């Protein structure tokens, strides 16, 4: 079968699987966060934390709880990394240096999972399990709590700015959603050949007669939540290109399904919680359109994109696993950058110029197609507010979305949200290019060298975690700068989203009138897609023209 038909077949299978889980998973998520009941195990956790799960918090207190939890997560993970050599199951791995430990602690707490280190030599089994895997659950749950709070802001009328209880939402996200799904996913991955053990380095004899050390470990359990929670940090340096993490085409397609399942199901949750399921379908259509276009463009770029080598070989196979091939590698690359996952089954630095440009553009969209667990949906809802605001200006009416008026205070918060991450990316890239320490890490000269730096700060600012691996980032400069980008790129937008949720929750819902823009039809879906593309184009086309676009034209 030819590569294009393989690509189409994989996409159809993946879309069918996502469609099959959309209704039940989206409905289940809505039930979890709308149910007044607490499970017995949850109540035990609340008593241990000394919190009242029924205390409805204002957005500011919700934010303080979230920030306090995340700060504790950073400090605990930092301590594990610095003391690793003194802890059991370290496998001889040394303590991380302060800059590297800071970067990793921030990375996994912010759901970025950027890795400057090689997992085989820098992280023992205890750090992988008690540190990194735990944060994979926690950071994904935090993203879900934020979007649930925003949805409550739309759903409530005159709620006094109260958006729920962070601790209740966090515990439910972990106990009722992520843990059970991760267990099922881990078992499925084990069935496809992903390893799960506590083995240390084992010496084996190769086919050539030489020796090689192979590391075992609890890989499947980490791989499951790595993809399900759109985290992306690999147990091994090669990430999902490593045969112990992703051994077969079946496991590869399963991992892509896992990283898309929750983000593509959350629009259903949104529709149910606001009482209008058509709104969820509209958001899903916009997300799906952007994702399908990205998959198509990236697949074309890798199968028959420009360049003498792809044309001569029939495809651009450099940096890709032969057991997956071009189609599966392109599908993985498009999906992992369209979400905030950042896992890779191929070297993104080896993508063709237009293919790498598509991966960059996916992240620059704010990863809303469909985005991360929670973060994708709240990013798309912010863009929906922008679309409604622009439509309101065109017809001369006060814009409304789901019965909530969008006035000056609301659009100011939205504008700050839209500008925050681009400012982090562009300023960070400019500083790196302008300083000797930043330029020292660049491997390639010319446009591709700029793209390496731009990709790093785009990945960090949008909490993705993938990289153009030609950039040497295991330095104090990049560990510190990218750590700051991850921190600001995660928590400043979260603070703005929760402020928006509080303002909407305090409003009285206005019934739709004759002049209200319908936000559930094809017209609005088209407007939303155009707004997303135009915002990214106006912001990033100048720097892309100096990097990926110039490289493709050359």
pLDDT of residue 421: 97
Tell me whether residue 542 is exposed, middle or buried, using C-beta atoms within 10 angstroms of its C-beta: 0 to 12, 13 to 18, 19 or more. exposed
The first and second tokens of residue 223, run together, are 């791989």
Q: pLDDT truncated to tens, each residue of the chain (554 aa)?
A: 667 888 899 999 999 999 999 999 999 999 999 999 999 999 999 998 899 999 999 999 999 999 999 999 999 999 999 999 999 999 999 999 999 999 999 999 999 999 999 999 899 999 999 999 999 999 999 999 999 999 999 999 987 889 999 999 999 999 999 999 999 999 999 999 999 999 988 888 888 888 888 899 999 999 999 999 999 999 999 999 999 999 999 999 999 999 999 999 999 999 999 999 999 999 999 999 999 999 999 999 988 765 544 555 556 788 898 899 899 999 999 999 999 999 999 999 888 889 999 999 999 999 899 999 999 999 999 999 999 999 988 877 779 999 999 999 999 999 999 999 999 999 999 999 999 999 999 988 889 999 999 999 999 999 999 998 889 999 999 999 999 999 999 999 999 999 999 999 999 988 877 777 899 999 999 999 999 999 998 999 999 999 888 988 87
471: left (phi over 0), alpha (psi -120 to 50) or beta: beta
Distances (CA, A) of 360 to 256, 338, 345, 463, 548: 18, 9, 16, 13, 9
pLDDT in tens, 70-88: 999 999 999 999 999 999 9
Provide CB contacts within 8 A for 42, sequence distance 6+: 53, 168, 171, 172, 175
CA distance 396 to 383: 20
Instruction: Determine the pLDDT at residue 511.
Output: 84
What single DSSP character describes residue 53?
A: T
What is the model's pLDDT at position 166?
97
Give per-residue burial for 337-376: e unless 16+ CB within 10 Å, then b.
bbbbbbbbbbbbbbbbbbbbbbbbbbbbbbbbbbbbbbbb
Could you write out the DSSP letters of every residue in 185-207? HHHHHHHHT-------EEEEE-T
**Residue 233 buriedness (CB in 10 A; 0-12 / 13-18 / 19+):** buried
Cis ω for the linkage preceding 415 (within 30 of 0): no
C-alpha to C-alpha distance for 486 and 74, rounded to whole angstroms: 12
What is the Cα–Cα distance from 460 to 458, expressed in whole angstroms? 6
- Identify the pLDDT of residue 314: 53
Q: Give DSSP secondary structure letters for 122-142.
A: H--HHIIIIIIIHHHHHHHHH
Per-residue confidence (pLDDT) for residue 243, from 0 to 100: 95
320 phi and psi, to 5 degrees?
-120, 150
Outline where 156-178 has alpha helix (H).
166-172
pLDDT at 553: 84
CA distances from 145 to 270, 491, 509 (A): 13, 13, 23
């Amino acid at each position: 079968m030819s590569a294009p038909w393989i690509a189409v077949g994989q996409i159809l299978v993946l879309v069918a699987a996502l469609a099959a889980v959309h209704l039940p998973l989206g409905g289940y998520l809505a039930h979890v966060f709308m149910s007044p009941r607490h499970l017995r195990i949850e109540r035990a956790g609340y008593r241990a934390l000394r919190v009242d799960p029924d205390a409805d918090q204002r957005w500011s207190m919700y934010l303080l709880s979230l920030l306090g939890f995340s700060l504790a997560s950073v400090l605990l993970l930092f301590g594990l990394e610095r003391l690793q050599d003194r802890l059991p199951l370290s496998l001889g791995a040394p303590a991380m240096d302060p800059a590297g430990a800071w970067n990793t602690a921030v990375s996994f707490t912010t759901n970025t999972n950027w890795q400057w280190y090689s997992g085989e030599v820098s992280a023992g089994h205890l750090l992988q399990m008690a540190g990194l895997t735990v944060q994979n659950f926690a950071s994904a749950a935090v993203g879900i709590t934020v979007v649930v709070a925003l949805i409550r802001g739309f759903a409530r009328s005159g709620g006094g700015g109260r958006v729920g209880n962070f601790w209740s939402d966090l515990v439910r996200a972990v106990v009722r959603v992520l843990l059970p799904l991760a267990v099922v996913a881990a078992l499925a991955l084990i069935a496809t050949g992903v390893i799960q053990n506590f083995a240390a380095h084992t010496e084996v004899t190769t086919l050539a007669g030489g020796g090689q050390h192979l590391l075992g470990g609890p890989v499947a359990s980490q791989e499951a939540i790595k993809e399900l929670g759109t985290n992306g940090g690999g147990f091994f340096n090669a990430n999902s290109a490593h045969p112990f993490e992703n051994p077969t085409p079946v496991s590869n397609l399963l991992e892509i399904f896992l990283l898309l399942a929750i983000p593509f199901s959350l629009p259903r949750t949104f529709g149910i919680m606001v009482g209008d399921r058509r709104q969820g379908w509209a958001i899903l259509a916009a997300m799906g359109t952007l994702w399908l276009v990205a998959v198509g463009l990236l697949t074309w770029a890798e199968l028959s994109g420009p360049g003498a080598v792809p044309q001569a070989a029939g495809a651009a196979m450099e940096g890709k696993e032969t057991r997956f091939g071009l189609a599966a590698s392109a599908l993985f690359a498009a999906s992992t950058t369209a979400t905030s996952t950042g896992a890779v089954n191929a070297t993104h630095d080896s993508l063709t110029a237009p293919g790498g440009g598509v991966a960059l553009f996916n992240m620059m969209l704010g990863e809303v197609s469909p985005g991360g667990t929670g973060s994708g949906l709240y990013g798309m809802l912010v863009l929906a507010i922008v679309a409604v605001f622009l439509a309101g200006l065109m017809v001369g009416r006060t814009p409304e979305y789901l019965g909530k008026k969008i006035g000056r205070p609301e659009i100011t918060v939205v504008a700050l949200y839209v500008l925050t991450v681009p400012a982090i990316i562009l300023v960070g890239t400019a500083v790196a290019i302008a300083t000797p320490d930043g330029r020292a890490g660049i491997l390639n000269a010319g446009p591709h060298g700029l793209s390496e730096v731009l990709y790093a700060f785009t990945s960090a600012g949008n909490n993705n975690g993938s990289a153009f691996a030609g950039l040497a980032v295991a330095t104090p400069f990049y560990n510190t700068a990218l750590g700051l980008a991850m921190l600001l790129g995660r928590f400043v937008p979260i603070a703005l989203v929760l402020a928006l949720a509080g303002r909407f929750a305090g409003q009285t819902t206005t019934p739709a009138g004759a002049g209200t823009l319908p936000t559930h039809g094809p017209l609005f879906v088209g407007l939303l897609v155009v707004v997303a593309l135009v915002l990214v184009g106006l912001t990033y086309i100048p720097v892309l023209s100096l990097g990926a676009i110039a490289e493709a034209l050359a």
